[in-house]
Amino acid sequence: MTTRSRQTVMAILGLAAGAVGAAAEKVGVYDSRAVAYAHFWSSPASQERDAAIAAAKSAKAAGNTAEYEQRSKALADHQKKMHEQVFSSAPAVEAMAALASKEAALRREIGVARFVSKWDEKSLRSVKEEDRVDVTDRLVREFITPTEKQQKVLDSMKTKPPISLWRMKLLNLFGAA
Per-residue pLDDT of the chain (177 residues; tens, 9 = 90+): 555 544 443 444 444 444 444 444 899 999 999 999 999 999 999 999 999 999 999 999 999 999 999 999 999 999 999 999 999 999 999 999 999 999 999 999 999 999 999 999 999 999 999 999 999 999 999 999 999 999 999 999 999 999 988 888 888 888 764
Phi, psi of 135 (to 5 degrees): -115, 10
Beta-carbon count within 10 A of 80 CB: 15
Per-residue pLDDT, 2:
52
Closest CA to 41 of 86, 80, 108, 2: 86
Tell me whether residue 42 is exposed, middle or buried, using C-beta atoms within 10 angstroms of its C-beta: 0 to 12, 13 to 18, 19 or more: middle
Per-residue pLDDT, 118:
97
In a 13 Å sphere around the CA of 24, the CA atoms on its Cβ side amount to: 6
Per-residue pLDDT, 140:
98
Per-residue pLDDT, 176:
60
